Amino acid sequence: MRCMELPVLGLHPYLVGRGVLWLCRLCHCDDIDQPASLHSRTPLPPPTPRHFSFIDTMGSLDTSDLINALQPSIAERLDPVYLDIYNRYQATRLRADQVPYETYNADREAYSFPTSKVTGPCPEVASNAIHRVPVSHPEGEVEVQVYVPTPEAISSGGLADAEGRLPALVNFHGGGFVIGDLKSDEPLVRQLCQRAGCIVVNADYRTAPEFPHPTSALDSWDVLKWVFAHASELNIDPSRVAVSGLSAGGCLAAVLSILARDDPTLPPLKLQLLIVPLVDVRYVPVEGSCKAGPYESYVNNEFAPMLPLSRLVWFYNYWLGTGPDREEKAKDFRASPLLAESHENLAPASIRAAEVDPLVSEAGVYHEKLLAAGTQSKIKIYKGQGHTFPQWDGLNPGSKEFVGDCVNDLKEAFKL
């Protein structure tokens, strides 16, 4: 099989005994090495399949290897390329939430999705220095990495002001407030830096279980204030700063937009870019399925790829705890920005959600909440995509579209 054909042609692996027969998705023939253009565009009836999980294999495959096979009702709703990627790189391996935290922490790579195999380009930048930022709740420090675009990118982006200062995006990685680090979003932030021609401050923060809620939000707030305090030495135009984040990072970006609005010492933020965000954590149970609440995607997408509801349970139990104060913590707007007293006068929001994701319903509700309060907001739900699709732009056309959309968001927000 030639991997270069896969995104164009697509392949069904039909399990045959202990092995796999690879068949063309277009016409179900087994001549998979010929160019996609030579395959029939009229699909023939397939053989009786056992293909609710499509696994890429370099040899024989025992069905017992299908640790995280998707349910047919979920698989049929996914974009074929997304599904292929999931099943090649996730379906045969355990996730972090499927083992005790101590087991995961002892060998993180073994229980992490191999994003480097599917991510997009990592363009060179002019510099990407790491700074250590003091944080206060509790006292300590976190790292931020400041990406500066090349002179060519600055020139083509046209965002430098008369003094040569650049706008800045402050980004916060995802990981359910339990996992993730500065490397999580590196390909994405490098692309945003170079393609938009802006500075990107990629921020880390301390995570649970060692640092449960609200440490992550307070660390992020300290980071944002540090960026403004050091804007001059970082060559940042403080009047053009935006925040962004994926998943848990999207929650943090939404929280920071509220905190920044309420701090009269800070200039208004230009944009909050909320990528597959979580914004209301009250309805994820301590165990089992979601039996109440307003978000139908918790039910319809309970067994979604990469972020099934059980993974949210695992994350939230470490981040918010399982004790009697869990409900109170979940109502804190620093965990559930949907519950803030006011959503007026916030930075304009761009919400980018995945269709097959437990979080898609609350993303839509947050969009409506912002609009009702008079805050500009737009939302795009990427059809057939699952939670982690933004990081798969090396192979997935939907992910490439997403990156381009984010670049356009930044250019529009930061224009002079």
Residues with catalytic annotation? 247, 357, 387
Q: Which residue has the tokens 């083992």?
A: 99
**Tokens for 112?**
């992490």
**Tokens for 270?**
């230009």
CB contact at 8 A, 169 and 416: no
- Tell me how far apart the alpha carbons of residues 142 and 140 are, in angstroms, rounded to a whole number: 7
Amino acid (1-letter code) at residue 388: T
Q: Which long-range contacts (CB under 8 A, 24 or more apart) does 262-268 make?
A: 266/225, 266/228, 267/228, 267/238, 267/239, 267/241, 268/347
Give the CA dihedral 157, 160, 162, 167, nearest 10 degrees: 140
- Tell me how far apart the alpha carbons of residues 349 and 254 are, in angstroms, rounded to a whole number: 9
Amino acid (1-letter code) at residue 107: D
Cis peptide before 214 (omega within 30 of 0): yes
- Tell me how far apart the alpha carbons of residues 13 and 22 are, in angstroms, rounded to a whole number: 4
Q: What is the DSSP letter of 248?
A: H
Give the CA dihedral 315, 316, 322, 326, nearest 10 degrees: 160
Type and span of the H or E element at 103? helix 101-106
Q: Which residue has the tokens 């680090």?
A: 181
CB contact at 8 A, 234 and 204: no
